[in-house]
Structure 1
Amino acid sequence: MDVVFWVLLVVVGGAASVGWRLWSFPGGWDRAFGGAYAAERRKLAAARRAVRRLGWAAGREVAGARLAVHRRTAAHRQRVRTAQRHLDRLSDPGNGSVLVRFGEAALHEHVVTFERTSIPLAGLQVRDEHSGGTSHLYLTRPDGRVHHRTYPHGDHAEEDVRRFAVRVQNAAADENDFRKRQTVMIAAAEAELDAVRADTTDRDRARAELAEITERLRLDTRLKAAQAELAAARDHWHRSTGSRPR
């Protein structure tokens, strides 16, 4: 079975090679394989190679320059998006990351939530009391509104409630500090975003390099000369055989 496979492979490969040779050098068997026409085949093949070599080199150079433009443009856009996200987070920080969970409560960087109730930490005052086997947590907003939560000691130890109250109070202090600095940080983030948007140096340099390469290749006569020699070789072959090669 293996022998048959390899024989078939050799036959198919040989047929393909003969077919390619007849297609490359049209005009009959003698023109494609005869020794009398070897010089003409070499001249046509050399002209083809010259065009391919110069064309591929130019194509690779242009493709590389275009890829550089694409990458540097994408990198600039990414820097802008990163700066914009930073500004957005400062302008509207949302709840922030979860710092600790306590029963139904979740203390975030900027709010404390109880099931469906969300209480901003800015300006929040925290007080805890413990009596009769129950702990009480009082959260007072800057407008005076009070949120009261009870924790039976059978569910939550008094020390755990105290510890959670301290965490909330400290988080509120951190939030107050953040709010004091927020305006300044937003102004800095806006300035940074403007600077990032304006800094197109890498992208512009890549575009200039692409334009320079494109113009240099446009003025380069080597490819045009090679194409002219290939056209002349094809014309000569056509006149000699009546078949025009590609």
Structure 2
Amino acid sequence: MGAMWLIVVVAVAVGAFAGWRRHLFPGGWGYALASRFAAERGELAHARSKVRGLEGTARADESAARAEVAEQEQRYKSELRTRERLIASLNEPGTGKRLAGLGEVALYEHVVVAKDAKGVRHTLQLAGLGVEFEWSEESYYLYLVRTDGRRVRADYARVGVSPDEAEQKERQETRFTEKQVRDFADTVRDTAATENTFRARLPERLKKAEADLDRVREDTAAQERARERLARVQERNKDNPHLRTAREELEAERLKWRALTGKMPPG
């Protein structure tokens, strides 16, 4: 069974090859396959190959030039988007990434989010924020002081002050050491200082970012050079004397073949 299939496959392949040869060299099987017409077939095939090679080179050159144009346009757009995103982030920095947290207080790059003793959630800008620490017999207190003087208090139950350990476990209340709360207060204070510096430098950074955006927007030289190169390649391909000569030679070979066989071969 395997040998039969092999014979069939070989026969199909041979038939396809012969059919393709007859398409390239029309006029009958003899013209397509006989050795006495090998020279004529060779001249026609050579002329075809020369044209195909030159056409392929022309297409490759134009494709490369188009790719360069696309690359420069994409690079230009990417640089614009990068600078536009920077300006947007400077104008609207948002919360920034989360940096730390303790109890009901979460610290971000530009804000601190706190839930006070009444369960009210506050989002406070770090710029100008004051931080105070106090304590009582039962709790530590972190005060976040707004620029208008209003304060948000976060309570932290103290470790080791409950006389009834069973009651403490039942309430499932997290308790904190003085060091934990003081260290966190220092972290919030330091981050607020960093934010103050960021805000102070913001006008200068915005001015520079906007100037960079204008510079990038106006700098289209690379794109123009790529487009000019593409235009030159297209013009060269349009009037390529080598390709024109090769096509004329191919046409002459096709006419010779028609004179020989009565059939015009494909180009």
Name the TM-score class by shorter chain: over 0.9
Q: Which residue of 1 aligns with 2:250?
A: 230
Q: Which residue of 2 aligns with 1:100?
A: 100
**Among 197, 205, 229, the residue aligned to 2:217:** 197
Q: Which residue of 1 aligns with 2:169?
A: none
For residues 132 and 208 of structure 1, the distance between their equivalents in structure 2, rounded to whole angstroms, comes to: 80
Q: Deviations over 1:146-176 (max 9, x none)?
A: 2111111242222211111111111111111
AA aligned opposite 2:137: G
Q: Identity over aligned residues, as a percent?
A: 40
Alpha-carbon contact 2:133-2:141 (below 8 Å) kept: yes
Question: What SS class does the counterpart of residue 132 from structure 1 fall into?
Answer: coil
Shift of 1:185: 0.6
- Unaligned runs of 5+ residues in structure 2 are 116-120, 160-173
Within 5 Å, give how 1:29-40 maps onto structure 2: 29-40=29-40
Alpha-carbon contact 2:114-2:154 (below 8 Å) kept: no
**Among 152, 157, 166, the residue aligned to 1:152:** 157
TM-score (norm 2): 0.85
Q: Which residue of 2 aligns with 1:162?
A: 182
For residues 194 and 242 of structure 2, the distance between their equivalents in structure 1, rounded to whole angstroms, comes to: 70
Structure 1 residues 229 and 118: alpha-carbon distance in aligned structure 2, compared to 1, 3 A threshold: same
1:217 paired with 2:237, answer yes
Shift of 1:19: 1.3
Shift of 1:5: 4.8
Question: What SS class does the counterpart of residue 63 from structure 2 fall into?
Answer: helix
For residues 20 and 59 of structure 2, the distance between their equivalents in structure 1, rounded to whole angstroms, comes to: 25
RMSD value, Cα: 1.8
Shift of 1:101: 1.7
Deviates more, 1:148-157 or 1:118-127: 148-157
For residues 143 and 41 of structure 1, the distance between their equivalents in structure 2, rounded to whole angstroms, comes to: 96
Q: Deviations over 1:108-135 (max 9, x none)?
A: 1110012642110111111110111201
- Give the number of equivalent residue pairs: 246
For residues 75 and 91 of structure 1, the distance between their equivalents in structure 2, rounded to whole angstroms, comes to: 24
Q: Which residue of 1 aligns with 2:264?
A: 244
Shift of 1:45: 1.0
For residues 6 and 125 of structure 2, the distance between their equivalents in structure 1, rounded to whole angstroms, comes to: 78
Shift of 1:3: 4.3
AA aligned opposite 1:173: A
Within 5 Å, give how 1:51-200 maps onto structure 2: 51-114=51-114, 116-154=121-159, 155=174, 156-200=176-220
AA aligned opposite 1:170: D
For residues 52 and 155 of structure 2, the distance between their equivalents in structure 1, rounded to whole angstroms, comes to: 83
Q: Deviations over 1:87-117 (max 9, x none)?
A: 2111111111111121232111110012642
Deviates more, 1:213-222 or 1:127-136: 213-222
AA aligned opposite 1:118: T
For residues 173 and 157 of structure 1, the distance between their equivalents in structure 2, rounded to whole angstroms, comes to: 25
For residues 204 and 123 of structure 1, the distance between their equivalents in structure 2, rounded to whole angstroms, comes to: 49
For residues 113 and 12 of structure 1, the distance between their equivalents in structure 2, rounded to whole angstroms, comes to: 77
For residues 20 and 236 of structure 2, the distance between their equivalents in structure 1, rounded to whole angstroms, comes to: 35
Question: What SS class does the counterpart of residue 226 from structure 1 fall into?
Answer: helix
- Unaligned runs of 5+ residues in structure 1 are none
AA aligned opposite 2:247: Q
